[in-house]
Amino acid sequence: MDVSVRIYGDKRSGNCYKLQLLTSFLGKTIDWVNVDILKGESRSASFLEKSANGKIPILELDDGRVLSESNAIMHYLASGTHFIPTSPYAFSLLLQWQFFEQYSHEPYIAVARYINIYLGLPDSRRAEFEDKQAGGYQALAVMEKQLTQTPYLIGNTISLADISLFAYTHVAHEGGFDLSAYPGIRNWIGLIQSQPNFVPMYV
Amino acid sequence: MDVSVRIYGDKRSGNCYKLQLLTSFLGKTIDWVNVDILKGESRSASFLEKSANGKIPILELDDGRVLSESNAIMHYLASGTHFIPTSPYAFSLLLQWQFFEQYSHEPYIAVARYINIYLGLPDSRRAEFEDKQAGGYQALAVMEKQLTQTPYLIGNTISLADISLFAYTHVAHEGGFDLSAYPGIRNWIGLIQSQPNFVPMYV
């Protein structure tokens, strides 16, 4: 695999930040192709030809093959590294947290943040923003329960699960979520931020 | 791994059917523990102690360890089998389709079916039911594009991706979706149904 990978995305997106953080940990660089979702660029004909679901980020290989879904791209980029445990149970736990992230966390915390930060919390979306709060806090409670038992989500070492969930959790306040009652999560955020080669969002 | 696995779930749920179909293909049997979500049994204290996110299905191992998230459980059950390709790209494509299923397919097609079949399409949920149609058809279009190029979602052989997406796609009509304009999907449904040891839903 090359040390530079081509990603189509938007650096403000947490789903794209997952790849930025992972590649930094792995010592790879990203050749970014900016896609502005607010301008509809992820629904353009040329983008849809690459990835029919019209969502960022996507990874494009040198031979033109494409992968979509941030969490799936992470597995490709980190294949064979210590970010992916090899025992079937630990590996399935890693996937459990990534599916949790996409189904039970991102649709609440990331969408609330999107409405607030990208769209400026317009009156027309305020009810939806408020509807996202209960589900977001439920997701945080699930994480908190685990992170008071183990330092990382699947045990004593960092994995893709932590990177996937760090992306939107550490900016949950931008979606209106108060982490002060979640000491396990706050401790874990500090652990991720103290990793060698950590890079903050937006860089 | 034992040939019998303990699953907490509801056989009417497509997420649970994924496991029923996979275990049948693998020659394993399920020791079902029924959990009625309409009676709130997935939010009971005893269930939440096993799985804090309160969703079915969950897998319980003989030593008490638990896995949640249907797609993650599938990887545990099928570890080392031909349902999981080993090349990094093909494996990541499999994950891509499973994340697509949870983010872009299930929240539309399965939720519309839930409102219609489980809840009986009450007036209070009719607007939500109708709102699910556009997203569901978009997901079907993404699948159709692939399934007119390859017989299965990631190529010429069946994988976990097909089982994950078969579960709710083959009952999409119960969510109000008409598959008559999707010949690739209809052909693929027939391919899955013709596999050795196929079992229908609800059995």
Contacts with A52 from chain B: Cβ below 8 Å: 141-142, 145-146
Shortest CB distance from B68 goes to which of A96, A102, A138?
A96
Q: Are B28 and B79 in contact (CB under 8 A)?
A: no
Q: Residue B51: what pLDDT?
A: 95
CATH of the domain at A67: 3.40.30.10
Q: Residue A12: what pLDDT?
A: 84
Instruction: Answer yes or no: do B61 and B94 share one domain.
Output: no
Mean per-residue pLDDT of chain A: 95
Q: Residue B20: what pLDDT?
A: 96
Closest CA to A160 of A91, A109, A88: A91
- Structural domains in chain B (count): 2
More confident residue, B104 or A11: B104
Would an 8 Å CB–CB cutoff place B67 in contact with chain A?
yes
Query: At A203, is the pLDDT very low, low, confident or very high (cuts 50, 70, 90)?
Result: low
Grouped pLDDT means (10 residues each) for chain B, 203 residues? 82 93 96 92 94 96 96 98 97 98 98 95 97 98 98 97 98 97 98 97 75
CA distances from B56 to B30, B40, B111 (A): 14, 11, 14
Instruction: Answer yes or no: do A185 and A105 share one domain.
Output: yes
Q: Residue A11: what pLDDT?
A: 83
**Which residue among A58, A77, A96 closes a domain?**
A77
What is the C-alpha separation between A65 and B107, in angstroms, rounded? 28
Instruction: Answer yes or no: do A22 and A106 share one domain.
Output: no
What percentage of residues in chain A have a pLDDT greater than 90? Answer: 94
Report ipTM (2 d.p.). Answer: 0.96
Q: Residue A189: what pLDDT?
A: 98
**Residue of A5, A69, A140 for testing the chain B interface, max B β-carbons within 10 Å:** A69
DSSP line for A138-177: HHHHHHHHHHTT-SBTTBSS--HHHHHHHHHHTTGGGGT-
Domain that holds residue B57: 5-77
* pLDDT tens per residue across span A82-91: 999 999 999 9
DSSP B66: E
Using only C-alpha atoms, chain A has a radius of gyration, in whole angstroms, of 17
Q: Residue B203: what pLDDT?
A: 53
| Contact at CB, B92 and A102, closer than 8 angstroms | no
Q: Tell me whether residue A199 is in a domain.
A: no
Instruction: Answer yes or no: do A73 and A98 share one domain.
Output: no
Contacts with A104 from chain B: Cβ below 8 Å: 53, 55
| Contact at CB, B67 and A146, closer than 8 angstroms | no
Q: Residue B168: what pLDDT?
A: 97
Instruction: Answer yes or no: do A145 and A178 share one domain.
Output: yes
